[in-house]
Structure 1
């Protein structure tokens, strides 16, 4: 069976490796130019090379985002950049602008080009326009329902792949068309520098009569009128696959390594379970429970089942829900002593109840009975960022497994 692709965000090299180790079939990332995420660390060319080698050694793919809406100065150096990526054997690039597309086709004709969601592809005629120019994968606009997606997949050629977002933050604006950040702060969302004004707190004024205005609010502090819930489609794996989508995309290049690992792992488990027996697939609520252990907003189904309503917005806060902290990364494990060497990521105390999880397996719970520092001195707390500590594990663990603990606040 030709399985769908699980596509994960990679904001830096560690996140790339985490995504692949925890089950992604491919990752997408931005270089230091031409991409839409200035807030993420992004990759130098040397890091891109290391990331591609890491992925290819494991049979995975790497796509590079080049989906800005460019001004003249943004085109400088494009040919050299593309040539270098091609020589590194990148698996494809994402573009939204016809000018960037033209330069790439002219410079490296056989480099695979994917149409970014920034291009707002919402119908099969637009998709066929790009197909006839050489595009072989289209990332659909987020504003499409299952019915619209199915109509598209039935009318396009077999060698044209459809990719859609299935998880992550939603934009209040139409895909690729937001100017609010530029207008309010001078930071251009379509050139990678969005200030996320949709998450701001607003006081809405409504005109009732000439030159007289009244505040419209839900509470004294105002309301987050543009603040969307996060997309989550893990409960609908069969519908996604049957609709003809070929790549399930997770949003979040500025999210943490812990977030990437947690979300990718949950979708990997759900997808693999489906392919074991598609006719008798049964959704398991533990997958959604796992996702909620990473920072998130309340969830929505986006446009998949029709246009969102007021129920798909968060009116009270723009903050994330954080029920767990990522506290440690397993670096090594001695099977004889059952002692793990751990890189601390948040404070841990003796007596803490922790959960330990890794790719392709369930988590287990244990209490920290004892901890030692790098010099084997017994300690009560690991307070220092990336401090190396040791502890005995209740069950065997592996390198790159993670430790989390519930928050008490």
Structure 2
């Protein structure tokens, strides 16, 4: 059975982006993993409309600056649960940078996702469908009768809300005729080339009667489409199943899905369902701990939390993520990024080995380094560590407990490999951030 320390670290990895160097010891002292779960759930998530996206004079600048800001928010946000669930939603309600999706559109999309604590999934879904970002991304802009574009209608059901088949019965959730009829209902969004504004125009909307998802819907529009989807029996299962897999790391059984469906309800209670999932006994089970593989985004953010990074502008994290094939605004397609073991390959290891070194060594340990560029964890390891305990301390600071004997032996051997100076401390910390245990989540 996993130690209390390993369980607490697991909670921080799944309900946030990993523990800080003191979080595990604090969690053990506070009563263990269950107490930490409750404390994380209790962190306030007040409505916030200004996330200080820096943007830039060009879309290229925004692509860099806003991605850096997203990493900063994920690493330093007071509510790690808000950050984690917003990232899950970003991989579910996918929008990618492109010809017509630039800084303003992406920032508004992120604002919608980050407002999840105040929204039902039904309401979030409608906001996203109506957003400029999604309208551009899935070809909603310009869709008009008699030739409605079906992209948004198809992905709305298949990827965003229902799935192709019912999770319990295996029956098809919708037919091609449903896609065509919903596509008609979603028409009307147009771009004004003079004002450069996307808006809904009744003149471009198909006002005829529609029939979809088993009922006559009259002159349905976006709201009626979302209401019909929320009334579908699969609506209560599709996203809760995704949340369970993301947070627990294993597949839920039918009884668990039924229990979560009851919490999710007719409108999609995101916060309530997340709380129900992480309070289930399997969340802390040995099967769940380290059952997932970190994505590049998770590697970068968890490293920043481990090292205590407070200034990100000089680290080029947007470029690191681009090189590792997970720039947060450049999803490869509407399905989002790969998951799980798809990231566990030589390319990830090689592409990570360089950035983790320059991040760890970005502070030279002297007073010449400005305070906001200093890495408190490396400095603490140098001050408190030595050749005998340095390897163990580095693992502890990285939130790595119950590690394998080969990992422990390698860390101890490296710490003993030369004089204990700042470079040795930084190298030991860097090695912990490349250990097999750090790659899993």
TM-score, normalised by the number of residues in structure 1: 0.28
TM-score, normalised by the number of residues in structure 2: 0.26
Structure number with higher relative contact order (C-alpha < 8 Å, ≥ 6 residues apart): 2
Between structures 1 and 2, the one with greater strand share = 1
